[in-house]
Structures are given as structure tokens and as C-alpha cells.
Amino acid sequence: MASVAWAVSFLKQQESFFDSAQVEAVFASHGHRWRDRELPPAETMELFVRQVVAGNVPCAEVRALREGAFTATAYCQARQRLPVPAVWEVMETITAGLGAADAAASDEPGRWRGHRIFHTDGTGFSMPDTPELQNAFGQPGMQAKGCGFPVAHLLVLFDAATGMVIKAHPAPLRTHDLNGIEQVHMHMAEGDVLIGDKAFGSWAHLAILQGKKTHGIFPLHQRRKTEDGACFDRLEMWARPAARPAWMKPEAYAKLPEQITVRVIRRRVARKGRRALTVTLATTLLDRDAYPADEVVALAGGRWEAETNFRHLKITLELDVLRCKSLAGVLRELAVIVLVYNLVRSIMSKAAGRQGVDTRRISFADALRYIRWSTADSALYDLIVNPNRPGRLEPRAIKRRKERYTRMTQPRTTLRKLLKKRGKTA
């Protein structure tokens, strides 16, 4: 449906981001009907993408992209009319096209010992405080009612080679990462390797992966004890626990084998200028000759790339706090942000091949600037290459002080009443 060249052409205000007829066919297949006006579905989707690229600006600014041909209200209403499943299907189809284009243009398939590698992890994002969103997602328990904001849980599957989002699965805040793991498995094929944190290293998940002939590499779960001491690499037989995990249906759990074979690896990882780190992994890559332990440990260390990807999504593309006030609006906004993220990753991949560096060293922010500001007739210039700083250590602290306003610990209506009672004005 789309290619990197088409995407860049669209964002430079020349050609369409995607084939309008194909996009509108997707919306029609979902039962969406529309009249021939200024904002049909394809046009609305293009404006939505450009809105996110421009910094997720307010809807009032979007009308300037078409020189005031419509009002901000008309654009908001056009967005609201887009069926959520259709928006997600368009995003996933374009993402698949971008991934195929990157694979065709790459000399190296980006595999490890013949296997595709994926990273998975969960995160959260906030949104306006409305009753509908509170009911859909909930809010952190430490916040009083009326004083906090709804927060969603988001399970994401990243392609380790390209950094693209293959699947994004939103859910209520109090959702375990494994609750949506079936959505992740749908995008994996036989032989693929999934890397995540210890939350994914449960017996049931490893058994599911083995049943699907896929693989996993996860830190050993804290509840599974092993002796301390020297490094080792061994095979262990793990029996099925009597207690079924809450995220799994009883009939599915009953179909799992009575025991599975798991490879457990412990290694000491040296870190320049820092104390060596002891790493204990559980994996379904059982062949020690085909998959040397040190290489498996090094591969598992790459899961921290998911944290960098989340930073791009949540900070650079402002997924951290969404703007829409309805559930459908939040889901549309999430889908378009993921689409823009994948577009930027494609530009990074193209620039990396042209400049002869690893894709991960191309500046995400600079690739976004290229899309936002370059003209239609300009070629892809050399993007900023970030320095290679393995083992970089920085404190998680804020230097600039924030405003010293009192934090809201009571609902706004209660605070207004207190102000009136004291004879003050806001």
C-alpha cells in the first residue's frame, strides 16, 4: 500500500502518503460510508499523520495545512467518523509495506544465526481525565478520585532489526504483560526468537513458545531459585505448576505438557568502569553448539533497545500524554502515532544504508525533522549519527526545577468551594 518514497513525498506536500482508493476501500470494508466532501477518509488520515509529524499539534492548526479549506470543528468531526478498526488496519498494512521495502533494500536480512529477533515489553501512557477513559483504563491507586488521570497499559512488539512496531496492544492499567501475549505471537513464525524481561519468563509462556516452535530468551524469574556461584550452562526439566496463571484460560493451560526442557545460562558480564554483572537467563534455544552461551547472553542484552524505542514513542512523538477525550479517539491517536514512528524508522534505515552506519545510531529526532521540514525536490541528506557510547551511565535526575505549585490532592470542585469559602478568586 505504501513505500518510504511515497510517504516522504506526502509529508513534503506533493504526492499522497498512500493510495486513496486503497485506503478508502479499507474503510468501506468496515462498513464506513461518507459523502464526497473536503474531508473523505483518505484525506482525513493524511492530515492526521501530518498533525502527529508536526508535533501532535491541536486540531485548530491542522486547517492551515489546507489553507483554511475547512474549520477545526469539521476536521475533528471527520476524525471522529473514522472507524477505529479501519484506522488500525490502515496502520498495520502500511507498516507491513514499509517493512517489506526496508527488507528488499537491505543487503543483510538482519537475522541472528538465521532467526528473526523480536523485542517485547510493556509501558504506560496517560490521557485526559474523562469518565469514559477512567472506566476503560483506570488510574494509579495512589491518586485520589478526581485528582489523577487515566493510564493505559501498552504491550508492544518491536522488530529488533528495524526497530519498527509490529504490534501495539492497549489494555487497562492493571494488566499483566502476558495478558496480551497472544497478540504478539500472531506476528511470529516458526524459528523466531522473542526477547523480553523476566515477566515473560514464566513456565507457561516458555511452554507455549515451544509448542509453537518459536523461541524465547528471558531473565530467570525471581521465583525460580537456582544456586548462587559459578557460571554454568545446563538443561533443566521444569514441571508444570499446579497453579494456573490468571492470564491463561483453563482449557489452554490443560493442553500444555506436564514438563518442558529449558536451558539455563549464567554468565558474568564485564562492564567498563563498573562492577561486573551476573546474568541468569532461561531460553528455549537448547542446542549449545548451535547457540553458544556467550552469544545468547549478548543477544539478550539487546532488549534494552526497547526502552530507547519507548522514549522515541513517548517523548519525541508525545505518546506519553494523548489529547483525545474519548476511548475511540485515544485508539485512533495511538494508531497514527505508531504509524508515524514506523515511518521515521524507515527513514532511519534508509539513511543508515546510505551513510554506512548502524540504524540504531541514526538520530530519530533528526529523521523526524527531515520528514517535517525538507522540500519535495530535496534528496535525503546525511542525518545526524549519534556517538557510540556503550555502557553510558547517567543519573535519572532533573536539573531544572519545576514550578512550586501545590499538588492537587482533592478534586477541583472541592478546591473551588474552599476558595469561595475563604473569599478568594482563582
CA dist 101 and 353 (Å) reads 13
CA dist 177 and 172 (Å) reads 11
SS3 letters across the chain:
CCCHHHHHHHHCCCCCCCCHHHHHHHHHHCCCCCCCCCCCHHHHHHHHHHHHHCCCCCHHHHHHHHCCCCCHHHHHHHHHHCCHHHHHHHHHHHHHHHHHHHHHHCCCCCCECCECEEEEEEEEEECCCCHHHHHHHCCCCCCCCCCCCCEEEEEEEEECCCCCEEEEEEEECCCCHHHHHHHHHCCCCCCCEEECCHHHCCHHHHHHHHHCCCEEEEECCCCCCCCCCCCEEEEEEEECCCCCCCCCCHHHHHCCCCEEEEEEEEEEEEECCEEEEEEEEEECCCCCCCCCHHHHHHHHHHHHHHHHHHHHHHHHCCCCECCCCCHHHHHHHHHHHHHHHHHHHHHHHHHHHHHCCCHHHECHHHHHHHHHHCCCCCCCCCCCECCCCCCCCCCCCCCCCCCCCCCCCCCHHHHHHHHHHCCCCC
Confidence (pLDDT) at 399: 86
Confidence (pLDDT) at 13: 40
Confidence (pLDDT) at 424: 55
Confidence (pLDDT) at 102: 66
Confidence (pLDDT) at 145: 81
CA dist 348 and 345 (Å) reads 5
Confidence (pLDDT) at 190: 94
Pairing of strands 274-283, 259-271: antiparallel
Mean pLDDT by 10 residues, the chain (426 residues): 47 51 86 85 90 91 86 93 94 84 63 93 95 94 85 96 94 93 94 95 95 95 77 92 92 94 90 79 95 94 92 95 96 96 92 90 93 77 86 79 82 88 67
Confidence (pLDDT) at 18: 61
Strand partners, 151: 126
